[in-house]
């Protein structure tokens, strides 16, 4: 897994303790009903960062967040029913097997060089029939350096150009372009790859959802931009069940 400890100050300024705009307006409002948490539920949050999911969960839900960055985990909200570990989720996890009813990965699997290992360790941590929800930057339409907005002036349409898709890619991400910058990496995989990884880890996909931005443009290009924004989703979400 790629550690974000070296860019933790930048990431904390971007996300904070409550999440960025998309966490607050798109991801959490759709994720929480999908989780179907109830009394007695226990949730494992892999790649938890500074524990922003913990801040929106009911206080009585047992939560354990795991992240490779000590400085991000140090910023996570503490309290009863809240635990954290600093660990690489691509390695065996420092928790008892089959001890959680639910697991999540929110916008982090694409920062892991070995997603198959991370998913296998997730399955091992879940009880039989346990639920797993994974939120990704959409692997079709949001590939760093390989997808871009372009405009067709004749059709008066804004469209998404996709240069590459099926190839597995390791893509360096500059945190501060144009400056002496630190890098993280994004690892691109196709939808068929993710389906295979989940199946091999022991999951059955129950539901796939694609979540578009709710932002609205103003000005001369607003109609075109708003139409494109609704046609090309930002996020892809898998809801899975551990096979029994």
* Portion of the chain with pLDDT greater than 90, in percent: 84
Among 22-26, 84-88, 133-137, 179-183, which is the least confidently predicted range?
179-183
Cα angle: 60, vertex 134, 171; to 5 degrees: 135
* Domain assignment of residue 48, yes or no: yes
Range of the domain at 91: 5-138+188-214+234-242
* Domain assignment of residue 146, yes or no: no
* Domain assignment of residue 70, yes or no: yes
Question: Does the pLDDT value for residue 26 go beyond 60?
Answer: yes
17 falls in which pLDDT band (50, 70, 90)? low
The pLDDT of residue 178: 54
Among 177-186, 216-225, 229-238, which is the least confidently predicted range?
177-186
* Domain assignment of residue 131, yes or no: yes
Q: Would you state the structure tokens that stand for residue 233, as one six-digit string?
A: 């989703």
Long-range (24+ apart) CB contacts under 8 A made by 141-144 are 141/232, 141/233, 141/234, 142/234, 143/169, 143/171, 143/188, 144/171, 144/173, 144/186, 144/188
* Domain assignment of residue 35, yes or no: yes
Spatial CB neighbours of 143, under 8 Å, sequence gap ≥ 6: 162, 164, 165, 169, 171, 188
* Domain assignment of residue 226, yes or no: no
**What is the total count of domains within the chain?**
1
CATH code, domain with 30 = 3.40.50.150
Cα angle: 69, vertex 71, 77; to 5 degrees: 100
pTM of the entire structure?
A: 0.91
* Domain assignment of residue 183, yes or no: no
Average pLDDT over residues 188-213: 98
Q: pLDDT tens-digit profile of 103-115? A: 999 999 999 999 9
The pLDDT of residue 79: 86
């Amino acid at each position: 897994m790629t550690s974000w400890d070296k860019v933790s100050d930048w990431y904390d300024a971007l996300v904070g303790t409550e999440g960025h705009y998309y966490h607050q307006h798109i991801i959490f409002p759709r994720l929480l009903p999908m989780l179907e948490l109830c009394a007695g539920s226990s949730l494992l949050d892999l790649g938890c960062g500074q524990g922003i999911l913990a801040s929106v969960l009911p206080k009585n839900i047992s939560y354990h967040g795991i992240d490779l960055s000590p400085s991000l985990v140090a910023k996570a909200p503490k309290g009863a029913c809240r635990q954290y570990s600093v660990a690489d989720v691509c390695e065996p996890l420092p928790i008892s097997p089959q001890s959680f009813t639910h697991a999540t990965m929110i916008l982090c699997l694409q920062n892991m060089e070995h997603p198959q290992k991370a998913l296998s360790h997730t399955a091992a941590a879940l009880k039989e029939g346990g639920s797993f929800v994974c939120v990704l930057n959409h692997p079709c339409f949001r590939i760093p350096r390989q997808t871009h907005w372009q405009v067709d002036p004749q059709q008066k349409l804004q469209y998404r150009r996709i240069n590459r898709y099926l190839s597995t890619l390791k893509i360096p991400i500059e945190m501060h372009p144009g400056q002496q910058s630190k890098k993280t990496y994004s690892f691109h995989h196709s939808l068929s790859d993710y389906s295979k990884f989940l199946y091999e880890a022991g999951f059955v996909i129950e539901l796939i959802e694609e979540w578009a931005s709710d932002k609205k443009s103003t000005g001369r290009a607003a109609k075109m931009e708003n139409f494109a924004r609704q046609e090309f989703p930002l996020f892809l979400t898998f809801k899975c069940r551990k096979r029994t």
